[in-house]
């Protein structure tokens, strides 16, 4: 009996959380774990990664990797410690931190989850490499600011962008981005552990055909009246209406006293708008007694629609790598604290140990630097104003 009770308990116990990837970049060996995309673009177009904590930080010894050269491509990938396979029926959680120290004007800061296995070519990893998930900030200009969420749908073998933009952070502090794709076909995006978008996959991504379509056997009847108003049949154009000119000679004008008909020609008064002219005639409009309202095409169930229980399966054949494939005009974005797991609880625990542990101290240091910068600007402005006053006094001395 005891054995049966234990077996039953094990049968219903939740599976232990799996961590498929974790990276904190806190050692020089990070370069051994990651591979730069050396065969993606010409070397002159590729930017270099900098290992640093940044200009402001919560812990100077807690480093990340930062883009360091303007107007360059950046490619970097690493293998997962274990293949994530959606067929295992587990949630997918991707989380990492992003800091735009350069006040990013145009460039990506997103992460890609990739298939490929042993055939994955790290050196050639780039924009054309197939991917299963693309997630993270993308900014270009004042209007294009979003957090990308692009998911692969296996049945169509296509990647689909979320239908409505997800907001992103644009200040110079570190922010934490989390994507959860759940096995119940829902998803959620968190920024700094606060939900900014959630919903059903079928509602937010065009994975499935429409549930209903217009009935192909129905069409608007030929005698359908969809004009709410009509010309008044009893309204008749007044006799002589078209004879009224749009302009008439100005009745208040008179020939100038110095006008000479022989030299100046026959005088004609200037023309002015005719107050009697009402424009082209049109009959009055009245309510149409035969109006039936707008015709609505009848809808029927779409025979091609079928709910897919496995829309969440973005890595049906297994995802084996993670990578950054970016273009940045102005660089200085710092990435850190990456985790791929099947447990939101595990990701949040990692966030407490990393992002939230450093967050407040970083913000304090940033504000101190900003205040020092403002003080320097104030002093420079005062010195410039003083120089202007001295120049002005010198000019007065020269004049007198």
Query: Nearest to residue 43, comparing CAs of 147, 123, 162, 132?
Result: 123
Lowest mean pLDDT segment, chosen from 130-139, 269-278, 281-290, 382-391: 382-391
| Contacting residues for 283 by C-beta, under 8 A, at least 6 apart | 231, 232, 233, 235, 236, 237
Q: How confident is the model at residue 1 (pLDDT cuts 50, 70, 90)?
A: very low
| pLDDT band, very low/low/confident/very high, at 388 (cuts 50, 70, 90) | low
Provide φ and ψ at 236, rounded to 5°.
-115, 140
* pLDDT of 392 over the 70 cut: no
Coil, helix or strand at residue 258: coil
Give me the mean pLDDT over the 376-383 stretch: 86
Percent of the chain with pLDDT over 70: 93
Q: What pLDDT score does 15 carry?
A: 66
Higher-confidence position of 12 and 104: 104
Q: Give the per-residue pLDDT at 142.
A: 81
Q: How far is CA 264 from the centre of its chain?
A: 71
Instruction: Express each pLDDT in 27-86 by its tens digit.
Output: 999 999 999 999 999 999 999 999 999 999 999 999 999 999 999 999 999 999 999 999
What's the chain's average pLDDT? Answer: 91
Compute the distance between CA of residue 58 and CA of residue 356 in angstroms, rounded to an integer: 10
Using alpha carbons only, give the angle 57, 63, 67 rounded to the nearest 5 degrees: 95
What does 330-352 look like in DSSP terms, one character per residue? S--EEEEEEEEES-HHHHHHHHH
User: Residue 400 pLDDT > 60, yes or no?
Assistant: no
Specify the 3-state DSSP secondary structure of 283: coil
Query: Does the pLDDT at position 8 exceed 50?
Result: no
Name 99's Cβ contacts closer than 8 Å, sequence gap at least 6.
54, 64, 172, 173, 174, 175, 333, 334, 336
- Give the pLDDT confidence of 317-345 residue by residue, as tens digits: 999 999 999 999 999 999 999 999 999 99
Between 104 and 236, where is the model more confident? 236
Tens of pLDDT, residue by residue over 339-374, are 999 999 999 999 999 999 999 999 999 999 999 989
The pair phi, psi for residue 363, each rounded to 5°, is -60, -40
For the segment 214-236, what is each residue's pLDDT rounded down to a tens digit? 999 999 999 999 999 999 999 99
Exposed / middle / buried, residue 355 (Cβ in 10 Å: 0-12, 13-18, 19+)? buried
pLDDT band for position 299 (cuts 50, 70, 90): very high
pLDDT digits (tens, 9 = 90+) for 159-214: 999 999 999 999 999 999 999 999 999 999 999 999 999 999 999 999 999 999 99
Burial of 313 (0-12, 13-18, 19+ CB in 10 A): buried
DSSP letter, residue 220: -
Q: Rounded to whole angstroms, how far apart are CA atoms 141 and 143?
A: 6
Alpha helices in 135-260 (DSSP H): 201-204
pLDDT tier, 7 (very low <50, low <70, confident <90, very high otherwise): very low
Res. 397 pLDDT band, cuts 50 70 90: low
pTM, entire model: 0.79
**Running DSSP on this structure, what letter comes out for residue 238?**
P
pLDDT digits over 256-288, tens only? 988 888 888 888 999 999 999 999 999 999 999
């Amino acid at each position: 009996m005891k054995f049966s009770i234990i077996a039953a308990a094990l049968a219903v116990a939740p599976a232990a959380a799996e961590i498929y990837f974790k990276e904190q970049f806190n050692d020089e060996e990070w370069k051994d774990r990651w591979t730069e995309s050396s065969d993606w673009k010409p070397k002159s177009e590729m930017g270099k990664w900098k290992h640093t904590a940044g200009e402001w930080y919560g812990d100077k010894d807690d480093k990340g990797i930062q883009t360091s050269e303007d107007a360059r491509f950046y490619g970097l990938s690493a293998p997962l410690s274990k293949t994530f396979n959606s067929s295992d029926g587990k949630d997918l959680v991707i989380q990492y931190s992003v800091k735009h120290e350069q006040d990013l004007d145009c460039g990506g800061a997103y992460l890609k989850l990739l298939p490929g296995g042993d055939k994955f070519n790290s050196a050639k990893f780039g924009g054309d490499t197939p991917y299963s998930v693309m997630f993270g900030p993308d900014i270009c200009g004042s209007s294009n600011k979003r957090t990308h969420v692009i998911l692969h749908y296996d049945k169509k073998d296509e990647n689909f962008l979320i239908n409505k933009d997800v907001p992103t952070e644009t200040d110079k502090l570190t922010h934490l981005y989390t994507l959860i794709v759940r096995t119940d076909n829902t998803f959620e995006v968190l920024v700094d552990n606060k939900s900014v978008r959630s919903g059903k996959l079928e509602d937010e991504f065009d994975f499935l055909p429409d549930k209903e379509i217009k009935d192909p056997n129905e069409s608007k009847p030929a005698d359908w009246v969809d004009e709410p108003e009509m010309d008044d049949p009893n309204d008749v154009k007044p006799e002589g209406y078209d004879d009224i000119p749009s302009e008439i000679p100005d009745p208040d004008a008179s020939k100038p006293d110095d006008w000479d008909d022989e030299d100046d020609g026959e005088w004609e008064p200037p023309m002015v708008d005719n107050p009697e002219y009402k424009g082209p005639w049109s009959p009055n409009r009245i309510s149409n007694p035969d109006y039936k309202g707008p015709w609505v095409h009848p809808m029927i169930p779409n025979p091609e629609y079928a709910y897919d229980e496995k829309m969440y399966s973005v890595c049906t054949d297994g995802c084996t790598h993670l990578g950054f494939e970016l273009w940045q005009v102005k660089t200085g974005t710092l990435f850190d604290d990456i985790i791929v797991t099947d447990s939101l609880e595990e990701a949040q625990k990692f966030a407490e140990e990393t992002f939230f542990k450093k967050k407040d101290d970083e913000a304090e240091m940033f504000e101190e630097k900003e205040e020092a910068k403002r003080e320097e600007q104030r002093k420079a402005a005062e010195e410039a104003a003083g120089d202007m006053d001295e120049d002005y006094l010198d000019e007065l001395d020269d004049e007198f």
